[in-house]
A and B are shown apart, each in its own frame.
Chain A
Amino acid sequence: MTELADCSLWELEYLLRVGEATSQTVTTAVLRRLAETEPLVGAYAHIYGTAMRDAEVADERRKVETRSSPLLGIPIAIKDVFHTADAPTEAGSRVLRGFQATEDARAVSRLRSAGAVLVGKTVTHEFAYGMNTPRTRNPWNLGCYPGGSSAGSAVSVAVGSAVASIGTDTAGSVRTPAAVNGVVGFKPTYGRISRAGVVPASPSLDHVGVLGRSVRDCAALFEVMAGHDPRDPASLRIPVQPWTSRPPDSVVGKRVGVDRSYFMDWDGVTGGVRSRVDTALRVLQDLGVQVVDIHIPLLDMASAVGSTLMTVDYSVWHREHLQTKLAEYEPGTRRMLMLGYATPAVAYVQAQRVRKAVANAVRQTYMEHRLDALVAPTIPLTAPTIQSMLESGSDIDLSGLVHHSFPANLVGLPCISVPCGLDNGMPVGMQILGRPLDEPMVLTLAASYEEATTSPRPIEPRGAPHG
């Protein structure tokens, strides 16, 4: 029998609904797993002392509710960039040490309203920038990169110290850690989930995303958190189509495009990753999906556009902190923030204009080829060793890691990363990029692939404890 800490959200929802488990037994199992794994993987920045009390409240609530949210009584982890009224929000930085928000981020308040049990706040790279080396380790190999910046959110799900988690994705920060830790990561359409109360990075690229052990687990969190919020100026007023409550759609005849020149044959893509994604494409074909080779003009500008916009956007928000707490930043973060001030305004404006051109090219390609989605590796490689990343320079070079993930942020597309096998014992991720607002198509394709394959789980941390 699967241990409670290794069950998916929906497996637990069933056990809770039919009375074969309580939130208290589930939470106890998750906290026990946390105690076992945390010394090895370091996923949490802050652990709530209130989880068992919240579980007790959830169990009482279930007794009186006729129809409960699937999240009722489920232990969830939160990236430490979401404001919480009952715990500090430090965004992985000494700059915000001890910062206590007065109210929850909208995404968090929606989780609480649904009855989720908050386990803790997870480790992030400093300000979700990805320029430093946090203490979180990859459970598949403790010497390897855990992804970023939602590193702790992915690792907690992978090891079972949370059933699901939430993160943020500005340039792949949900999908990348999902891919390298062998879990599912989902970033919906830009504006679907409110960013009110989230420490900002680059407002036109920032998305709230979710991580879970299955596509359907991610969909459950998405459906609870999505919806209009006037506190986020980019929040969409367009209703979310329910997906988890409706019968599965067929994928027969759906059309997915593959831009081989950008996503598969790019220099940084390893043979192992290319091979696993090609195999996954054959699985989709066997399910009746039509795979179409396409080429998106201007897509090769995505990294230049994204990095230029992101560098400047970050710097704007940090100005006051740079003036007053400069020495508190990690060197890599501080330098990138300063570099933002050295970016010419004409380059920033040109990046905005090229971004629009890239978005138009993507849209035209979808329409010309009647595509329902694009498919690509989530990142071009499996998790590198931390040592190799540090040796490559005095600061972490992220350009190769964000090459594949930037397009979905630039264009605002819904995008999911699903595990698609192992290469040399390390997880590979495949991302599926849908049309804006078409989360149901992305989820349907991903769930169909998931159902047709098996992904290895659970994960036991391997290697030496981190120092």
Chain B
Amino acid sequence: MCDDLLAQPDVTRSEILAHLGIIFEEGGNPAEEDLVWILKELPSQRRVWKSLFSVRAGHLESVETFDPQWHD
């Protein structure tokens, strides 16, 4: 399983390492098993992110602060 995951295109692995650079800028690296887990998890996460874009633009508004007062 791990071999399969690690055989994914380098760009995916590099991409993740680049994101994690925000954490590891002072040095260090993620543990190999953590990186493998993230690579394994990413496809399902991408499906979730992609699903967010299925909502038609007409439904969307800009982000606002919470307004608890509803007006009938």
**A interface list, Cβ under 8 A from B:** 189-191, 204, 234, 236, 238, 298, 301, 304-305, 307-308, 319, 322-323, 326, 331, 334-335, 338-339, 341-344, 347, 349-354, 356-357, 360-361, 363, 366-367, 394-395, 412, 435-437
Contact = CB atoms under 8 A, between A and B. Distances in A.
Given A236-B68, A334-B34, A338-B23, A301 B61 contact: no
A437 B37 CA distance: 42
B68 A351 contact: no
Contact of B60 (A191, A331, A353, A436): A353
Contact of B38 (A189, A236, A335): A335
B16 interface: yes
Contacts of A307: 48
Contact of A338 (B34, B60, B62, B68): B34
B52 A436 contact: no
A304 B66 contact: no
B23 to A, nearest CB: 5
Interface in B33-63: 33-34, 37-38, 41-42, 45, 48-49, 51-53, 55, 59-63
B49 A338 contact: no
Among A342, A343, A363, A437, the one with the most B-chain Cβ atoms within 10 Å of its Cβ is A342
Interface of B: 15-16, 19-20, 22-24, 26, 28, 30, 33-34, 37-38, 41-42, 45, 48-49, 51-53, 55, 59-64, 66, 68-70, 72
B66 A191 contact: yes
Given A354-B60, A357-B61, A412 B66 contact: yes
A331 B34 contact: yes
Given A342-B16, A353-B63, 17 more contacts: A190-B68, A234-B66, A301-B55, A307-B48, A308-B48, A331-B33, A331-B37, A338-B23, A339-B38, A342-B15, A343-B45, A347-B52, A352-B63, A356-B60, A367-B70, A435-B70, A436-B69
B7 to A, nearest CB: 19
Q: Which 3 A-B pairs have the closest CB atoms?
A: A436-B68, A347-B49, A357-B59
B20 A338 contact: yes
Contacts of A361: 59
B48 to A, nearest CB: 5
B5 to A, nearest CB: 13
A17 B37 CA distance: 57
A339 B41 contact: yes
A360 B55 contact: no
A353 to B, nearest CB: 4
B11 to A, nearest CB: 13
A323 B38 contact: no
A231 to B, nearest CB: 17
A352 B65 CA distance: 11
A299 to B, nearest CB: 12
A363 to B, nearest CB: 6
Given A342-B20, A353-B60, A356-B61, A326 B38 contact: no
A301 B51 CA distance: 8
Given A323-B24, A339-B45, A190 B55 contact: no
Nearest to A334: B34
A132 B38 CA distance: 17
B22 A341 contact: yes
Nearest to A356: B61
B66 A353 contact: no
A349 B69 CA distance: 24
A304 B55 CA distance: 12
Given A319-B22, A367-B72, A436-B70, A354 B52 contact: yes
Contact of B66 (A190, A323, A339, A343): A190
B49 A343 contact: yes
23 contacts: A238-B69, A301-B52, A304-B49, A304-B52, A307-B48, A322-B23, A323-B24, A323-B26, A326-B28, A331-B37, A335-B38, A338-B38, A339-B41, A341-B19, A341-B22, A342-B38, A347-B49, A350-B53, A353-B62, A356-B63, A357-B60, A367-B70, A394-B37
Among B16, B37, B64, the one with the most A-chain Cβ atoms within 10 Å of its Cβ is B37
B55 A344 contact: no
A351 B68 CA distance: 20
B61 A323 contact: no
